[in-house]
Amino acid sequence: AEGASGRTLSVKLTSRPMSRVRLIITTGTQIIVSPSEMFFSSTNYTEAQSLEVRAVDDVEVEEAEHFDSIRVQVESEDLGYQTLDILQVVRIAENDLSRTSKPIDRWG
């Protein structure tokens, strides 16, 4: 949700790479990630690294739920990792919606 502390994701590889693997993490304009790069090797590929993800707290009133994406591009000389490109859609809850409502007590 906008204005919230965000989420921490654990990222690791499922198979031992033959050479260093670099993850380049980019987003649209609605979310921020940190770090924007991660590196894995044959010695640390099973160790989870933390990725912080949070929604930008803007002043725009948008739909109650709106979306952005996280893209992970993978760079490596290891053929098993060269063709990977991951796109993950993220749902964001709007925090700028009016919290008041007017009761309807008369029709017509």
Determine the residue type at 32. Answer: I
> Is 74 contained in some domain?
yes
> Would you say residue 101 lies in a domain?
no
Residue 105: inside a domain: no
Helix (H, G, I), strand (E, B) or coil at 44: coil
Q: How many domains does the chain have?
A: 1
**pLDDT in single tens digits along all 108 residues of the chain:** 445 567 898 999 999 999 999 999 999 888 889 999 999 999 999 999 999 988 876 666 555 667 788 899 999 999 999 888 888 887 776 655 555 455 555 554
Q: pTM of the predicted model, to two decimals?
A: 0.74
Q: Which domain holds residue 47?
A: 7-93
Distances (CA, A) of 53 to 4, 11, 62, 71, 96: 10, 12, 20, 12, 20
CATH number at 78 reads 2.60.40.10
Is residue 103 domain-resident? no
